[in-house]
Structure formats: structure tokens, C-alpha cells
Amino acid sequence: MTSPLLQTKLRRPALRPVRVERPALYARLTTGQLQKLTLVVAPAGFGKTALVSGWLGERPAGWLALDGADNEPARFWRYLIAALQTLAAPVGVTALAMLGANPLPPPEALLTSLVNDLAAGDGPLCLILDDYHLIENPAIHDALAFFIEHMPARLHLVLLSRSDPPLPLAGWRASGQLQELRQADLCFSLAEAAEFL
């Protein structure tokens, strides 16, 4: 029997009542939706989560707040599928059943089922994985790379991390499938800093 999922991990942070609007960065996040992956990388305190949450506003998006316990592959994929199901309820039902098998099936079989479910639907989907730097398991990195390579165009993935994840970023960058926002991009201008203070 699997443990119940913490629903609080699937809720995006509430928007702060007073915040600095970042229209130029919001525009880059919006154009990034034409690519497979947006990567937001900066140290703690640079406002990665606040930026993406502010950009989303009231728009629907799946959100997964990762933690160290998510380094167990079955748990990671259960939560990722649950985040997708907040947008498209029937997605991943077969994949979830496969996660309950002992032994687990090969990751490619599980992810092929999930990708096929996503490809069968209509309309754009956006999924945010927050604090991806906490994921250290190479098996999860490899499986996520497979998922990103094969996911349908309707799904856009946003990874928030304090460091570059060990994913094939160079290849995605070269093929135009990666949008990147980094520490220098997230730094406040003088006007934004004055507004923040």
C-alpha cells in the first residue's frame, strides 16, 4: 500500500499582497512556453518561486514543491503525476498502477504510458517543479530527461533550482528547446529595488 500524498506539496505558494511586478521576466517566461523546458536557476533568496508564481497569476498550472524525500523514484513520479492530475484528471492512471507493481517496471515503460496519456489530450499544460536542486538521484535525472525528450508539445515544464540540474541542457539549448533565466536576470534593477524597499 502506498502512502497518501501531501496535498500541500501540490499547491503553488500564495501571491504576496505587495510584490514587485517583473513584466520583462514575465514576457520571457511566456515566450518560453514555446519550448519544452524553462530553467530558472539562482541561489536562495533571488525570488525564483515568487517570480514564477507571480507570472502564473491565476492561470492554471501544476505545481510540485520537491523535498529530499522525493529522491525515491516511485515517490517522485507519484507526486509528478498528481501535480499533472490537478490539470488533467485522468492523466497517468495506468502509470500510477504501474508504480504499485513489485518490482517496478522499467522507467521507459512507465513514462511511455504517461507521455501517451498526455499526448491524447488537448490544450496547453504547464508544470512547475520547485526546488529541483534537492533531487540527487541519477535514476530520477535520467528518467526526467527521457520524459522531457518525449513529452508532447502541449506540456511545458518549468524547473526552479539553485544549481544546474544534471540533464542534457546543452542539447536542448542547441535545439532551441530551452529557455533559461539565471541569477543575473533575476537581479533587481535600481527602480525595482527601490520599489521593493
In this predicted model, what pLDDT tens digit does every residue of 45-96 receive, in sequence order? 999 999 999 999 888 999 999 999 999 999 999 999 999 999 988 899 999 9
**CA pair distance 107, 163, nearest whole angstrom:** 25
CATH number for region 28-196: 3.40.50.300
Q: How far apart are CA 2 and CA 186, in angstroms?
A: 39
User: Residue ranges of the domains in the chain?
Assistant: 28-196
The whole-number pLDDT of residue 43 equals: 96
Which residue has 546543452 as its cell numbers? Answer: 170
Mean pLDDT for the chain? 92
In this prediction the pTM is 0.92
% pLDDT > 70, the chain: 92
CB atoms within 10 A of CB 107: 17
| Contacts for 126 with CB less than 8 Å, ≥ 6 apart | 33, 56, 59, 60, 61, 62, 155, 156, 158
> In this prediction, what percent of the chain has a pLDDT beyond 90?
81
Q: What is the pLDDT of residues 104-133, one digit of tens each?
A: 899 999 999 999 999 999 999 999 999 999
Q: What angle do CA 29, 95, 108 make, to 5 degrees?
A: 80
Distance between CA atoms of 50 and 19, rounded to whole angstroms?
9
Provide the 3-class DSSP secondary structure of residue 63. strand
**Could you give the strand order of the β-sheet that contains 178-182, starting from the edge strand earlier in sequence?**
62-65, 125-130, 155-161, 37-41, 178-182
Q: What is the pLDDT of residue 21?
A: 79
Check: CB of residue 39 under 8 Å from CB of residue 181. Answer: yes
Residue 15 φ/ψ, nearest 5 degrees: -70, 135
153: exposed, middle or buried (Cβ count in 10 Å: 0-12, 13-18, 19+): exposed
